[in-house]
Chains A and B, each alone.
Chain A
Amino acid sequence: MSKLLKPGIAILSALILQVTLLPAYIADPFKPNLLLIVVVWLGLRATPVRGALLAYLLGLAQDSCSGLYLGLNGFSFLMTFLVLQNIAHRLYADNRYLMTLAVFIATIACGLAHLVLLALFSAAEGIYASLLVSLIPQGAVNALVASVVFGIVDAAQTEEVA
Chain B
Amino acid sequence: MWDLIKKYRVPFVTGAVVLVAFLVYGSNLKHRESANFFERGVLTVLSPLFSVGAVVSGGAETVWNDYIALVDVRRQNRELLEHLRTLNSRLVGEQEALLANERLKKLLELKEQMPAPSLAASVIGEDGAPWFKTLVIDRGGKDGLQEGMPVVTSAGVVGQVVKVAANSSRVLLLTDHASAIAAVVQRSRARGVLRGTGSRRLSLEFAIREDDVKVGDQLVTSGIGGVFPKGLPLGEITMVKKGEYGIFQTIEVRPMVSISRIEEVLVLLKQRNE
What is A's interface to B at a CB cutoff of 8 Å?
A: 18-20, 22-24, 28-29, 31, 33, 62, 64-68, 114, 122-127, 129-131, 134, 138
Collect the chain A residues with CB atoms within 8 Å of residue B195's CB: 125-126
What is B's interface to A at a CB cutoff of 8 Å?
A: 124-132, 134, 136, 162-163, 170, 172, 176-178, 195, 197-199
Q: Check B136–A67 contact: CB distance below 8 A.
A: no
Q: Check A18–B198 contact: CB distance below 8 A.
A: no
How far does the Cβ of A125 sit from chain B's closest Cβ, in whole Å? Answer: 7
Q: How many angstroms from the CA of A70 to the CA of B250 in the assembled complex?
A: 32
Collect the chain A residues with CB atoms within 8 Å of residue B131's CB: 67, 114, 127, 130-131, 134
Question: In this complex, what residue of A is CB-closest to B199?
Answer: A130
Collect the chain B residues with CB atoms within 8 Å of residue A28's CB: 130
Overall SS of chain A's interface: helix
Collect the chain B residues with CB atoms within 8 Å of residue A114's CB: 131
Q: Check B178–A18 contact: CB distance below 8 A.
A: no
How far does the Cβ of A39 sit from chain B's closest Cβ, in whole Å? Answer: 14
Identify the 6 closest CB pairs spanning chains A and B, nearest first: A130-B198, A23-B126, A67-B132, A124-B177, A134-B130, A19-B125
Q: How many angstroms from the CA of A23 to the CA of B132 in the assembled complex?
A: 12
How far does the Cβ of B197 sit from chain A's closest Cβ, in whole Å? Answer: 6
How far does the Cβ of A123 sit from chain B's closest Cβ, in whole Å? Answer: 6
Collect the chain B residues with CB atoms within 8 Å of residue A67's CB: 127, 129, 131-132, 134
Q: List 23 A-B contacts (CB under 8 A).
A: A19-B126, A19-B127, A20-B125, A20-B126, A23-B125, A31-B130, A65-B128, A66-B132, A66-B134, A67-B132, A68-B162, A124-B177, A125-B177, A126-B177, A126-B197, A127-B177, A127-B198, A129-B197, A129-B198, A130-B131, A130-B177, A130-B197, A134-B130
Collect the chain A residues with CB atoms within 8 Å of residue B134's CB: 66-68
Report which residue of A18, A62, A66, A129 has the largest number of chain B beta carbons within 10 angstroms of its beta carbon. Answer: A66
Q: Check B178–A123 contact: CB distance below 8 A.
A: yes
Q: A126-B177, A126-B197, A127-B198 are in contact. Are A19 and B128 (CB under 8 A)?
A: yes
Collect the chain A residues with CB atoms within 8 Å of residue B127's CB: 19, 23, 65-67
Q: Check B172–A19 contact: CB distance below 8 A.
A: no
Collect the chain B residues with CB atoms within 8 Å of residue A33's CB: 128-129
Q: Check B130–A22 contact: CB distance below 8 A.
A: no
